[in-house]
Structure 1
């Protein structure tokens, strides 16, 4: 969810034998604005989806926001996961204690904390009105992610699995993840189903980090070509997302096996380019700020969203479901930002920042140096073929 976006030094490239990804200085470094802007786009799209579908269900009809939700469905979550894996190479070769603190306990803390908060708000719905039922609900939620918090839960799982498989060639792991994504896996368990559906995008962010940064640099220096590419992508994505399908379990062509994988990757790349272009044009400050606080929005948006939707739909203040959905989306994004700002530096800061007791390593302004990495996980077909022939990898 929250991605630490550090900027590489100008012109640096990953040296041979280092994990794939941006070269990052070990000390503190500025955030990359385009990454935060891309994250801002993603979090707004996620909130928009929940707000719009909830409003349409309450009002019994669709509005103009339904088309935006349908258009973004192929890439909305893939891009979020890709960005979440983008800086994994900074920590994956560190000792388990350091890695677990930054990539596992970080997400576990927020999941458990906000599981309790969200469940308390929905006490009667999740517990049958009893303390025993509430405790049973919490216990089940430790193995089966609850509500919108599944994303945070899954990031911790992805981080563990990816590090455990670090010795396996990246091409093999990525191919296996792609097969899982395309396979018709529907167990009914959210953790299993979403893991199979999303892991490939997290891996793509990690394994192709250097290519993603090159794409961002290309977009920064080739605006016209980038806009042309976005236009082509938008036509293809929209055509497939809006064309109904009724086979292989898909409701649109965009959901078909293979096509959904390609559209997810293409859409993630498109959001990267859009993030760069918006930042370059200096009109992205609201999105950049929202992206830098995406964890706060994601954890908190359910409450203002539900309250605003109930208020506007119950009393029929506005009759157009599209306008209602837009207002609900805006409130659900702005309210968490306000909450985060109000509690920052206070005794309630633990809501959005881990306290010292919830850390395995102390929080400092200086990152420990990267430990010597294991085998480079770079996706390189020529090297893979040489290894297959029994030759030593370069």
Structure 2
């Protein structure tokens, strides 16, 4: 495998792992804990998923920043606004509305979780939740804001420095229940690192480094143990520091895995994260009333794995089914040409 090909596989494999971690996290919250709450196996799974918290979204955003680096540094505002920001906003708003309509007004309720997304929600409440990132699709909204912020700053020192300050400030400014704003403000530092440290990442993480991996793995295990024992994960800066170390460890792990293992299917998932991300909560909500209850410990233990794979496969089948059924279905995952032309005529966007 060539070095460039290895880099592509490393990114795709990591993205695939990230989206699977997101799916299993949501399955744990919205179905698994409600079905089997109190079971020791559920507690074990919940502990593992909680331990991945400093890694899951930081790695996702670092990769997003890494891939956006060229656009941020070399493309004009008009190009970014037309090709990136507008399309992300379109997908965010469109799927937020789709989610609201399907989950609130069409599908039966989730018997395992009482959601605040219900028929009592007004349009004003819905818009407020979209603006404050208090919605499951907040990652897309964050990318829009991160693109603009990174482009405005145009400096690694300023972007990463402000990202660190913002991350720490979230613990002092926002209540823990306000997870949307905490996430929106706090994760920018990882996007900034990916965007402005692209050359460093490419140079130093192009290949597996045993000494670095051993050191960061030891720091990860020690950090998680200390944070867990002293309940420090919610302390300012702790999750960010753990995230940096865990991201480094994971990148090295995937660099090694891509060299010695066939990660074709994981990479395939990593190249199609958008449809999985926007659809998995709908699929999860659809399947929630039909989840078979069981007391078998083995089935309870493997349930998150089976459910995560089933949800992921269902999303990809829906995605490809939509694309094959109509060419217009592409407008569900990127701004359609018709809408773009209207934006051109209105002067909102400029052809580039």
Task: Look up the match of 1:34.
Answer: 10
1:46 aligns with 2:22: yes
Alpha-carbon separation, structure 2, partners of 1:66 and 1:127 = 23
Whether 1:240 and 2:217 are equivalent positions in the alignment is no
**Whole-Å separation in 2 of the counterparts to 1:350 and 1:331:** 25
What is the match of residue 77 of structure 1? 57
Query: How many residues are aligned here?
Result: 323
Matched, 1:159 2:159: no
Separation in structure 2 between the aligned mates of residue 118 and residue 271 of structure 1, nearest angstrom: 32
Whether the aligned pair in 1 keeps the contact of 2:134 and 2:181 (CA below 8 Å) is no
Aligned CA RMSD, in angstroms, stands at 3.1
Find the partner of 1:212 among 185, 196, 201.
201
Cross-structure match for 2:94: 113
Query: In 2 relative to 1, CA 127–67 (structure 1 residues): closer, same or farther, beyond 3 Å?
Result: closer
User: Which residue is 2:157 aligned to?
Assistant: 171
C-alpha distance in structure 2 between counterparts of 1:171 and 1:83, whole Å: 19
* CA contact 2:62–2:195 (8 Å) conserved in 1: yes
CA shift, 1:309, in A, is: 4.1
Give the number of the structure whose alpha-carbon radius of gyration is greater: 1
Distance across 2 between alignment mates of 1:279 and 1:358: 40
Take 2:194 and 2:221, find their aligned partners in 1: how far apart are those partners? 24
Q: Deviations over 1:71-90 (max 9, x none)?
A: 31111111001001003231
Give the alignment's TM-score, normalised by structure 1. 0.72
1:85-138 per-residue CA deviation (whole Å, 9 max, x = no partner) reads: 0032311242222111233112111111110111012325767647xx553344
Where in structure 1 are there 5+ consecutive unaligned residues?
1-7, 11-28, 220-224, 363-370, 372-394
Map of 1:185 onto structure 2: 172
CA distance in 2, matches of 1:211, 1:127: 42
User: Is residue 103–residue 282 contact of structure 2 (8 Å, CA) maintained in 1?
Assistant: no
For 2:253, the equivalent position in structure 1 comes to 274
CA-to-aligned-CA distance 1:331-384 (integer Å, 9 cap, x gap): 12111111112122432232234321344799xxxxxxxx9xxxxxxxxxxxxx
Q: Give 3-state SS (helix, strand or coil) of 1:32's partner.
A: helix
Q: Does 1:331 align with 2:307?
A: no
Mean Cα deviation higher: 142-151 or 153-162:
142-151
Q: Report whether the alignment pairs 1:147 with 2:125.
A: no
Aligned residue for 1:147, secondary structure, equals coil
Return the alpha-carbon distance in structure 2 between the equivalents of residues 85 and 284 of structure 1: 23
